[in-house]
Structure 1
Amino acid sequence: MGNDFYFQNKEKADRAAELVIANKELVFQNKEKADRAAELVIANKELAFQNKEKADRAAELVIANKELVFQNKEKADRAAELVIANKELIFQNEEKDKRAAELIIANERLAVQNKEVLYLIYHDQLTGLYNRRFYEIELERLDTTRDLPLTMVMGDVNGLKLINDSFGHAMGDELLKKVAEVIKKGCRADDIIFRMGGDEFVILLPKTDAFEAEIIIKRITELSLLEKVGSINISISFGYETKNNEDDNIQDVFKKSEEHMYNNKLIESQSMRKNAVDMIIKTLHEKNKRLEEHSQRVSKLCERMGEVLELFEYQIEELKTAGLLHDIGKIAINENILNKPDKLTCSEWKEIKRHSEIGYRILSTANDMSKIAEYVLSHHERWDGKGYPRGLSGKGIPFESRIIAIADAYDAMISERLYSSALLPKAAAEELRKNAGSQFDPELVSLFIAALEIVEK
């Protein structure tokens, strides 16, 4: 029992010792725990701090992300703007290229136009020769001692007005162009040719004396004889003067060359005009055989009236010629109008009525036909003053014109026409009687009908 008690006490002492140890261990552990708890507190504080740092950084990151998003959006917007700007720049560059190309084309056109303008300033548009403006410049340039002797040649185309009146200005233009070609062929390379306007040409011959000038003029004249415009012969009257001394006035040289040209023109143009009138008649009759036959019959009727009236031989010849030429002005009337089978319109009739004035202009160019020109001008005047072109009446109408009017009307009535059938001579004579005192001279109508009756017997 004592041993058991001793053992139990020992057991207790051992357990107490163990408990002490355990308590110490527990204290130690508790201290460890306390240290760990303190460390944990510190760690938690550190963690809390870190978490706060992280939160702050996260907040900063959010702000940074927002800034980055904003910046990215800005960049995207700027990139989009840059794309648009680049497209605009490309478009603008393309526009600039187009404009540059257009500008190059415009500059090229402008250069051509300037060249054309410069050409037109100094050249005659119709013939291509130099014009009066360039003549004045060249004359001043050549009027020096080094170009002496300086010869000035004046040329004038004969019958241009006659051709314009007869065949129209288009034919007159062709004549002028052909004359320019002939003059160029006849001149030398250094000779300078000008068209001064109208039918006048000037040739400046530097370092050329009178003898050489005459050779050039002769060459041009011979070449002109080989050329025609349609059926029209080319005729040019020339005159020249030479400046041999420095003291000679160039304007005096011009005037003398012009005087010489006009003197030659007086001699040459008359024969040319007579030939031109003959050529016009021939051309008209070749174009219209019916008109030729009508003119010949009217001429014979006029001749018969002259005989009945016992006119002088020269008067009968004038009357006969006027009858033959009374329709010469129809050379300038459109053939479609002359040969129209239907009734003429007002404008066409107005055109037809021009033929008496045209005929007058053609014939009046030849001095020996001035009277006949007057008779032709008035052959459509009426006794009552309602005719054309001047509305003359009664004995204010030339006597010969009154005869032509009757002969013309009578032959027209008894001939087959495009727009009406022929009348019998008696019916035509009756028409003349009806219109005597209104359209025709009543006394001459009576004599004309009497003359016809004599012929019929």
Structure 2
Amino acid sequence: MYKNRRQFPSFLLYFFSFLILFNFCLNLSAAEFSPEELSWIGENSVLEIGTIESGPPFFFESSHGELTGLAVKIVEELSKISGIDFKFVFYDTVEDLFAASDELVFGVSTDYQLNDYTLSSPFLEAETVLFYRQGLNPAELNDKRFALVAGSVLPEDIDEDLLVFVANREESLLAVEQNKADYGYGNSYSIAYYNMKAKYKNLALAPISELKRAYSFGLKSDANPHLLAVLNKSIEKLDPVRMQSIIMAVTSEVMGSYAFDLFMRDNWRLVAIATNLIILVLFLAAFYIWVINRRLKREIVNAQIREEEIRYLNFYDVLTGLPNRRYYEEALVAMDIKENLPLSIIVGDLNGLKISNDAFGHEEGDNLIQRAAKLFKENCPEACSAFRLGGDEFIMLLPQTRAKRAAELMAEMERQSDLDLDGKIPLKISLGYATKTREIQSLFGIIKLAEDMMYKEKMRTSQKIKNGIIADLLEQMFEKGIESKENIEKTKELATALANNLNLFDQDVKDLLMLVDIHDIGKIAVSEEILFKEGPLSPPELAEMHSHIEVGFRIADASNIYSPVAKFILTIREHYDGSGYPQGLRGDEIPLISRIFQIVDAYVQMTSDRPYKQAMSANEAKAELLSLSGKHYDPQLLSTFITLV
């Protein structure tokens, strides 16, 4: 079948084989041991090395069923140099490994601080690789799920509640690929191997240059000192060229194991050609070894590109696209030159972000931040730079801009923000400006002047803005049918009558009526499907409904007008017998104002038409209330109220 094909010259096969063999034989001369060390070697010709079977490429089974891999090859080379026959002993976990009696432990990172162990010279260096699910921002993984190999050391700053335990490194990559975890770390050799094997589609890789690890042997503190000396001298003979030869030999064996079936579908000529090509690749790799320090950097080019993207993202805010504080701090130094005078600064602080997050969730809060960023972008003239410093803070640097122009620009931004009605919360920003006119002036002092103006404006208008936002939210409740103005007035009328009958203080009456106004404002954060659902709510729906109490408390507490009654909002769904929520208060633990409100509000709701229920008569409502006396409602207050209606 292959008669007309040109055969790969066999002499080249022998030539390349000789080069590889010669490369392996570099520095094979025995290490120079002292007479005492040679004597010790003679008495300890076989030594056990404790380790964990970490999988390919460190340990795997060859096509002949024998244990091989990078770890095995390195130890074999050390055996040739030292004359000691090293044998591996495998353990299931790190704890089991260090609890064992073995004098030697393989592959201990020099980063670990082990009290009872001494480390040899490092024999291998590997770069740490971050692997994460595509679509995620690698700079924002703090709240994401971390794939941790069982028995391995937990990295610092990882929340234990976000751990996803897996059996080995391959399963950690698979967990991220299948969206069961979000990210993890591993050494470059293992990650490159499994990525080549599985061809993951949803996985992104990025080398972490600052997290390089060197691997050594760990020796128990009471180990014979000759052992450390013999190991270090043997490791010294493993120069970089020698190590790269070992790595390439193992890599070719791994690649061959996956390509074997494909090769065997053809005859021996195709196998020979493929073998020659592999040898050629290995030769070329050895030839360029002095230029390319790590094979990983050639196999994961996409990861290098991604690393550049990470560096780029370090200077920009992902949510808004504006340069971030790090970029701002560098730009500030570059812009503070004589040629840019007069240099004006406009600073801004977003109002209502907390209320927006509390009432509608962080998605609406993010929308508010993006609208503020758009305002700064669209009003930033040529040569101007706008930045988001974090949270709700923004700043604009305006070179060659006089104070009058900065004031005009700030006034225009205030006008535009008043017209921005795109979201559920109006866009309100407190602004301030200042201008550096002389080179001798401190730019940081100018920024402080702008901030002082902004904070004065914020103090002057903050509560007015918050109260205005709450008024808008209350109006939205009426528009959506969550509450009606008629029911509010009816509740106030009955609440006043009961309060007067009980001879409450004037301030308590005022608090009670204010509570009537704002008690259900937290429902603005509950979906309308749940609010107006007919029939019982599911557990998740019930949990969302119950959350309106705490949301209402946070909204009211943000206002100087309504903050005095915020504490009562937390208790209006408690029951007299302790069966209510959110705190399970009972009896007099529930404030008097809340107990009064509960009765009056229930009566008004029962006697009013609702979308899913027809109104009761007064007698039916009173009978319903009395059936819950001592359970939901204060029996004495209820008896008094019944006489009034």
Q: TM-score, normalised by structure 1?
A: 0.71
Paired letter, 1:267: R
**Contact preservation (8 Å) 2:364, 2:424:** no
Unaligned runs of 5+ in 2: 1-6, 12-266, 282-296
Shift of 1:354: 1.4
Match of 2:248 in 1: none
Q: Sort the Cα spacing of 1:354 and 1:289 in 2 relative to 1 into closer, same or farther, 3 A.
A: closer
Q: Matches of residues 252-291 of structure 1 in structure 2 within 5 Å?
A: 252-288=445-481
185, 204, 207: which one aligns with 2:397? 204
Match of 1:142 in 2: 335
Stretch deviating more after TM superposition (134-143 or 113-122): 113-122
**Contact preservation (8 Å) 1:299, 1:322:** no
**Contact preservation (8 Å) 1:191, 1:205:** yes
Shift of 1:90: 8.0
Give, in whole Å, the separation in 2 of the partners of 1:246 and 1:308: 73
Give, in whole Å, the separation in 1 of the partners of 2:619 and 2:268: 105
Instruction: Please state if 1:334 is matched with 2:553.
Output: no
Match of 1:264, SS state, is helix
Instruction: Please state if 1:177 is matched with 2:358.
Output: no
552, 563, 566: which one aligns with 1:373? 566
Match of 1:72 in 2: none
Shift of 1:248: 3.4
Stretch deviating more after TM superposition (300-309 or 323-332): 300-309
Q: Sort the Cα spacing of 1:415 and 1:264 in 2 relative to 1 into closer, same or farther, 3 A.
A: same
Give, in whole Å, the separation in 1 of the partners of 2:342 and 2:326: 23
Match of 1:439 in 2: 632
Cα deviation 1:67-108 (Å, max 9, x = unaligned): xxxxxxxx9x979987765576689999xxxxxxxx99975x
Give, in whole Å, the separation in 1 of the partners of 2:389 and 2:346: 12
Give, in whole Å, the separation in 1 of the partners of 2:425 and 2:280: 63
Match of 2:21 in 1: none
Match of 1:321 in 2: 514
Match of 2:397, SS state, is strand
Paired letter, 2:621: A
Stretch deviating more after TM superposition (412-421 or 425-434): 412-421
Give, in whole Å, the separation in 2 of the partners of 1:372 and 1:231: 24
Paired letter, 2:432: G
| Larger gyration radius, structure 1 or structure 2 | 1
**Contact preservation (8 Å) 1:151, 1:209:** yes
Stretch deviating more after TM superposition (282-291 or 193-202): 282-291
Give, in whole Å, the separation in 1 of the partners of 2:619 and 2:527: 33
Q: Matches of residues 163-174 of structure 1 in structure 2 within 5 Å?
A: 163-174=356-367
Query: Is the helix fraction higher in 1 or 2?
Result: 1
**Contact preservation (8 Å) 2:348, 2:394:** yes
Q: Matches of residues 5-404 of structure 1 in structure 2 within 5 Å?
A: 85=272, 107=301, 109=302, 113-114=306-307, 116-288=309-481, 294-309=487-502, 311=504, 316-404=509-597
Shift of 1:136: 1.1
Shift of 1:125: 0.7
Q: Sort the Cα spacing of 1:416 and 1:84 in 2 relative to 1 into closer, same or farther, 3 A.
A: same
Paired letter, 1:272: I
Give, in whole Å, the separation in 2 of the partners of 1:353 and 1:438: 19
Give, in whole Å, the separation in 2 of the partners of 1:81 and 1:429: 97
Shift of 1:153: 2.2
Give, in whole Å, the separation in 2 of the partners of 1:225 and 1:421: 42
**Contact preservation (8 Å) 1:403, 1:444:** yes
Match of 2:447, SS state, is helix
Match of 1:232, SS state, is coil
Give, in whole Å, the separation in 2 of the partners of 1:226 and 1:331: 23
Cα deviation 1:5-25 (Å, max 9, x = unaligned): xxxxxxxxxxxxxxxxxxxxx
Q: Sort the Cα spacing of 1:289 and 1:296 in 2 relative to 1 into closer, same or farther, 3 A.
A: farther
Shift of 1:118: 3.4
**Contact preservation (8 Å) 1:153, 1:239:** yes
Shift of 1:428: 2.6
Shift of 1:258: 2.4
Match of 2:562, SS state, is helix
Q: Sort the Cα spacing of 1:78 and 1:254 in 2 relative to 1 into closer, same or farther, 3 A.
A: closer
Give, in whole Å, the separation in 1 of the partners of 2:489 and 2:361: 25
Match of 2:580, SS state, is coil
Give, in whole Å, the separation in 2 of the partners of 1:143 and 1:112: 33
**Contact preservation (8 Å) 1:295, 1:327:** no
RMSD value, Cα: 3.5
Query: Is the strand fraction higher in 1 or 2?
Result: 2
**Contact preservation (8 Å) 2:368, 2:423:** no
Paired letter, 1:185: E
Paired letter, 1:354: S
Cα deviation 1:206-265 (Å, max 9, x = unaligned): 233332221111121112122223343211101233333434333333333323212111
Paired letter, 2:531: L
Match of 1:407 in 2: 600
**Contact preservation (8 Å) 1:149, 1:244:** yes
Shift of 1:160: 1.0
Paired letter, 2:533: K
Give, in whole Å, the separation in 1 of the partners of 2:507 and 2:632: 27
Q: Percent identity?
A: 36
Cα deviation 1:17-67 (Å, max 9, x = unaligned): xxxxxxxxxxxxxxxxxxxxxxxxxxxxxxxxxxxxxxxxxxxxxxxxxxx
**Contact preservation (8 Å) 2:603, 2:622:** yes
Give, in whole Å, the separation in 1 of the partners of 2:299 and 2:617: 75
**Contact preservation (8 Å) 1:231, 1:279:** no
Cα deviation 1:298-348 (Å, max 9, x = unaligned): 344323333444556665454233213211100001222212212122332
**Contact preservation (8 Å) 1:295, 1:325:** no
Give, in whole Å, the separation in 2 of the partners of 1:227 and 1:92: 68
Q: Sort the Cα spacing of 1:105 and 1:240 in 2 relative to 1 into closer, same or farther, 3 A.
A: farther
Give, in whole Å, the separation in 2 of the partners of 1:84 and 1:362: 74
Q: TM-score, normalised by structure 2?
A: 0.52
Shift of 1:429: 1.9
Shift of 1:371: 1.7
Give, in whole Å, the separation in 2 of the partners of 1:221 and 1:308: 50
Stretch deviating more after TM superposition (385-394 or 171-180): 385-394
Give, in whole Å, the separation in 2 of the partners of 1:305 and 1:320: 12
Cα deviation 1:408-452 (Å, max 9, x = unaligned): 222333345577665432233233334334432233212211111
Q: Sort the Cα spacing of 1:296 and 1:117 in 2 relative to 1 into closer, same or farther, 3 A.
A: farther
Give, in whole Å, the separation in 2 of the partners of 1:382 and 1:248: 64
Unaligned runs of 5+ in 1: 1-74, 95-102, 453-457
Give, in whole Å, the separation in 2 of the partners of 1:294 and 1:450: 21
Cα deviation 1:163-185 (Å, max 9, x = unaligned): 11112211111111111111212
Q: Sort the Cα spacing of 1:368 and 1:379 in 2 relative to 1 into closer, same or farther, 3 A.
A: same
